[in-house]
Amino acid sequence: MSETTRITVTLPSEQVAELKKLTDNVSGFVAQAVARKIRHHLVGEDLLRYEEEHGEFTEEELAEARSRMFGSDAAGWSDVA
């Protein structure tokens, strides 16, 4: 098990009520959410660095990435991105 640090986090009461409906392990749930946010941030930084070095992604590259991530459900995402 990895080392842990106890902290205090303040959340809106409505969020806490919904959170307790979802899990009995609030700390684990929050830790997973934080880990996901950190990964998202790091990937975003990597993508920006790549674009700075190689130029913006083409529509074809973006379509291929969407297809790999979301499969055939990615159709229509070009309108969103």
pLDDT tens digits along 18-56? 999 999 999 999 999 999 999 999 999 999 999 999 999
Neighbour tally for 16: CB within 10 Å: 13
pLDDT for 80 beyond 80: no
Residue with tokens 């229509």: 76
Say how far residue 39 (Cα) sits from the centre of its chain.
6
Are 22 and 29 contacting, i.e. CB atoms less than 8 angstroms apart? yes
CA-closest candidate to residue 34, choices 67, 5, 71, 66: 5
Report how far residue 61's alpha carbon sits from residue 63's, in angstroms, rounded to the nearest whole number: 5
